[in-house]
Amino acid sequence: MQTRFFQFEADFVDSLRCIPMQVRLKLDTCGIKLKLPQWHRFSDQDRQTLVDLPCETEAEVRAYCQLLQRLILERTGEVATELAIDPHPAWNDTATVADSVQTRASESSVTITPAQWANLSPEQRFALIKLSRSSHENANFLPALQEFQII
């Protein structure tokens, strides 16, 4: 996974005031919930480290998780909330467009074909899944579709 921000995140990545998608992907990969108020308690260097550190191999995932747990405890006094790790996350499934993405796209009169879904990177599929969840404000869903050349 490369250190890369999406264009739809451009309004906040310079300051890292919000948790960027690449960090959110790492959070899901290592099974740690990070709340925005916790993120805000991190130093600029903490945030940049979480952006830059790899989180792909088993050893990297374990190291990332340990660092994140330590940072949350040191910066907030809270114990990190652990989440179940999906062994087969939808963003790695190139054959099936995630239901939440299909639903959100349909609401915007957009059709995402299986070929378009398959051609996206796992990071792009992850972003669309996150942006399509009902708990998310969805403001960046259409900009993401445009950026990923779906529409």
Q: What is the pLDDT of residues 52-111, one digit of tens each?
A: 999 999 999 999 999 999 999 999 999 999 999 999 999 999 999 999 999 999 999 999
Per-residue pLDDT, 43: 96
- Assess contact for 3 and 52: CB atoms under 8 A: yes
> From the CA atom positions of the chain, what is the Rg in Å?
16
- Assess contact for 20 and 50: CB atoms under 8 A: no
Per-residue pLDDT, 16: 86
**pTM of this structure:** 0.91
Over residues 14-25, mean pLDDT: 90
Q: 107's torsion region: left (phi>0), alpha (psi -120 to 50) or beta?
A: alpha
Tell me the domain boundaries of the chain.
10-82, 90-147
Per-residue pLDDT, 1: 44
Reply yes or no on whether the pLDDT at 137 is more than 70: no
